[in-house]
């Protein structure tokens, strides 16, 4: 286990990806449970966690698809099988509102996941000891070749270099030689 994994907070989900088709199966399972439980179910409790996990592990679109499909099927069940026409309007509007809240949560989790992944990539680029030559300041890369410091850093970050003289080197290189 590397130092990055040991320093990871306990509450942060592990890094990884899950194929989006898995969420179709989970959505079908949620719809089946929703059908079995009937109209008395506390609808969002059934799928807050799967939608959040879909957002984290598969991204925005699978999570939004899951967040939209389950309430739509729930509304279909309400209208066709469970509710009387008088109470159907209130139940449908409540389901739509809950579905929108879950979709917003899905977008938030997807954005949080993207941000965490970009931070993870950034930390991996900048982590570790660099074997650097004491004389020419070249750095040994992963292949064992020596690269100039500027090239090594430029390929692994957005830093760009311009060369000039610091005051000490300017004094030492140009003004002391003329004596």
C-alpha–C-alpha distance, residues 160 and 130, integer Å:
19
Number of H helices and E strands in the chain, helices first, is 7, 2
Task: Give the 3-state secondary structure of residue 147.
Answer: strand
Tokens of 92: 């449908």
**CB atoms closer than 10 angstroms to residue 144:** 7
Report the pLDDT value the prediction gives residue 103, as an integer from 0 to 100.
92
C-alpha–C-alpha distance, residues 24 and 20, integer Å:
7
pLDDT tens-digit profile, the chain (179 residues): 444 455 666 666 676 778 888 888 888 888 888 788 777 666 566 678 888 888 888 889 999 998 898 888 888 888 888 767 777 788 788 888 888 998 999 999 899 988 888 887 776 665 667 788 888 888 888 888 999 988 888 887 778 888 888 888 888 887 775 55
Instruction: For residue 140, give the H/E element and its range.
Output: strand 139-140
| Beta bridge partners of residue 146, listed in sequence order | 140
Question: What are the sequence ranges of the domains in the chain?
Answer: 3-126, 130-179
Report the pLDDT value the prediction gives residue 46, as an integer from 0 to 100.
66
Instruction: For residue 139, give the H/E element and its range.
Output: strand 139-140
Tokens of 63: 């999570």
C-alpha–C-alpha distance, residues 71 and 47, integer Å:
10
Report the pLDDT value the prediction gives residue 146, as an integer from 0 to 100.
93
For 78-99, b where at least 16 C-beta lie within 10 A, e where not — what string? beeeebeeeebeebbeebeebb
pTM beyond 0.85: the answer is no
Report the pLDDT value the prediction gives residue 16, as an integer from 0 to 100.
72
């Amino acid at each position: 286990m590397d130092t990055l994994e040991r320093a990871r907070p306990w509450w942060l989900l592990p890094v990884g990806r899950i194929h989006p088709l898995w969420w179709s199966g989970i959505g079908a399972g949620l719809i089946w449970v929703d059908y079995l439980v009937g109209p008395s179910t506390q609808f969002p409790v059934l799928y807050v966690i799967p939608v959040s996990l879909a957002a984290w592990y598969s991204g925005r679109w699978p999570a939004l698809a899951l967040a939209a499909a389950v309430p739509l099927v729930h509304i279909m069940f309400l209208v066709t099988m469970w509710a009387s026409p008088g109470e159907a309007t209130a139940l449908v509007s409540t389901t739509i509102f809950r579905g929108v809240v879950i979709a917003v949560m899905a977008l938030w989790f997807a954005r949080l996941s993207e941000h965490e992944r970009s931070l993870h990539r950034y930390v991996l680029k900048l982590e570790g000891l660099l074997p650097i030559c004491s004389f020419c300041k070249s750095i040994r890369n992963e292949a064992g070749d020596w690269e100039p410091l500027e090239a090594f850093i430029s390929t692994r970050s957005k830093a760009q270099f311009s060369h000039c003289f610091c005051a000490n080197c300017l004094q030492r290189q140009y003004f002391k030689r003329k004596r």
